[in-house]
Structure 1
Amino acid sequence: MPTSTAATSGMSRRRRRAQNDSSPNYQAKRQDLLRTAAEVFREKGFEGTTLHDIAERFGTDRASIYYYFASKRELFQALFHDILVDVLDENIAVAEHIIASDDDATGKLRRLVEQQLNSYEKNYPFVYLYIQEDMTQLQLDATSWGKEMARKTKRFETLVLDTLQQGVDEGTLRTEVPVQLMAKSLFGMINWTHRWLKPGMRKVDAKQTAEAFCALFFKGARTKN
């Protein structure tokens, strides 16, 4: 037991030194590890993934993972803390620019759908992990940055809700369907793509998916006039 504790303590010190050093090589390897881990988490889920699975896919041993992260949970949380916070900021900035445009509600919604799916494709598979996993169960919502992510997600959803309401007020979207239900239907289509849409697919990409979703959604959501 003393040997194991000493070894763990030594690894912790080396990890801290490497993180403080922030050398390009260390950071590049860390980013490669995060991307590899994201793929494994996407395939097996958080509970079904082990550090051995990640190490094997990364082409190293489990002990080497500890040079970068102290645990599977720390590694998983880094995917969101290091990457997705910036992605959410970018999505909100683009969405706010769209909302401020002179487009009608339908035009704005179409651009919002395109932005969301393009972001999913560009930041694959990190965004999909956020959709796939239960953030409450993983206690991400207990951290300050986790709460900030939840707030940013809610902000994006509110922008979509406001645009749907604009469409109802303009008379271009159905009044008999509650705006909240419209939003759930739209997000349901978009978010379910985490099960099947993958960059590099030969027949379907984000652009084609956005066009198809908009055609289906607006044909059903539009008034007859």
Structure 2
Amino acid sequence: MAKAKTPESGRRSTARRSLVTRDVLEKATQLFAEQGYESTTLQDIAEAVGVSRTALYHYVSSKEQLLEMLVEQIGFALAEAVVGLHARTDLSHEGKLREFTDLVVRQRAASPSQFRVLDQSESMLPEPWQVRHREARRQVLAELSGMIEDGIDAGEFKPLDPRVAAFSVLGMCNWVAWWYHPGPDYDVDAVARQITQSAIDMLVVEDARGPADSVRSALMMARSSLDSLERLLPSGA
């Protein structure tokens, strides 16, 4: 007679399934990036994970489902975070811009392959998911444009076209996924600081900064300068 499942065994089973599914997505993303989405088969993914193709179906039913998972992790998660950021009342307009830029740079640096694969393979998504992905991207752009417009209306940001400025900030952040490689030459903290400062310099009216913002900006510039000096030091110095 089979033993009845306990709540504890159910939790362990759910946790294991979650871990294996995450591993499947990670291995699949690597294969998509290396050999292309269309050239990668479910058999390739199963072999990379170390399971049979039949066992793989317990976790994913198709390659399209893997892309859908990337949309959830990259597109939907960022859209939700940006909506929350725009609604915050404890940050200045500059503070929101800093938070946004830092968030996106770190996300792209942490999951560059996932972003690149989704960017290149969006047309392979089922039509409803293409629509949802585009909606998430439009929402991010709209929320960032709104934050920039709020800063312009408050006199803290330069009177630029909010949408063009938003595209510029997003471009700087997203491009990290294409060139960033972790290592001593590109510390993610230094990269995030420099790109964030570039966005601030592009948008913020210097005279509109309060004492705290001016001190914060000076500290970031000092850190950026130190990072540059450290890269000039001989190895092992």
TM-score, scaled to structure 2: 0.66
Aligned length: 193
Which residue, 14, 29, 46 being the options, matches 2:37? 46
- Match in the other structure for 2:95: 107
1:173 is aligned to 2:152? no
Local SS of the residue matching 1:46? coil
Task: Identify the range of structure 1 (47-56 vs 86-95) with the bigger mean alpha-carbon deviation.
Answer: 47-56
Map 1:1-225 to 2 at 5 A: 28-50=19-41, 54=45, 57-58=48-49, 64-65=52-53, 67-69=55-57, 74-75=62-63, 77-99=64-86, 100-123=88-111, 125-130=113-118, 132-135=119-122, 137-140=123-126, 142-143=127-128, 145-175=129-159, 177-198=160-181, 200-223=182-205, 225=207
CA distance in 1, matches of 2:85, 2:61: 36
C-alpha change, 1:73 and 1:186, in structure 2 (3 Å) is farther
C-alpha change, 1:106 and 1:50, in structure 2 (3 Å) is same
CA distance in 1, matches of 2:14, 2:94: 48
CA distance in 1, matches of 2:61, 2:184: 34
C-alpha change, 1:134 and 1:35, in structure 2 (3 Å) is closer
What is the letter of the counterpart of residue 82 of structure 2?
A
CA distance in 1, matches of 2:108, 2:72: 14
Q: How far is the alpha carbon of 1:85 from its aligned partner?
A: 1.4
CA distance in 2, matches of 1:93, 1:139: 21
TM-score, scaled to structure 1: 0.69
CA distance in 1, matches of 2:61, 2:156: 46
What is the letter of the counterpart of residue 159 of structure 1?
E
Q: In angstroms, what is the RMSD of aligned CA positions?
A: 3.2
Gap regions ≥5 residues in structure 2: 1-12, 208-237
CA distance in 2, matches of 1:182, 1:138: 30
Q: How far is the alpha carbon of 1:162 from its aligned partner?
A: 0.3
C-alpha change, 1:222 and 1:27, in structure 2 (3 Å) is closer
1:176-212 Cα shifts (integer Å, max 9, x gaps): x3222111111111111121224x4333244322211
After the TM superposition, list the runs of 4 or more consecutive aligned residues in structure 1 that deviate by more than 6 angstroms. Answer: none
Identity of aligned residues (%): 19
Q: How far is the alpha carbon of 1:95 from its aligned partner?
A: 2.2
CA distance in 2, matches of 1:126, 1:98: 23
Contact persistence 2:108–2:173 (CA under 8 A): no
Task: Identify the range of structure 1 (158-167 vs 204-213) with the bigger mean alpha-carbon deviation.
Answer: 204-213
Q: How far is the alpha carbon of 1:74 from its aligned partner?
A: 2.4
CA distance in 2, matches of 1:25, 1:98: 33
C-alpha change, 1:49 and 1:107, in structure 2 (3 Å) is same
- Match in the other structure for 2:218: none
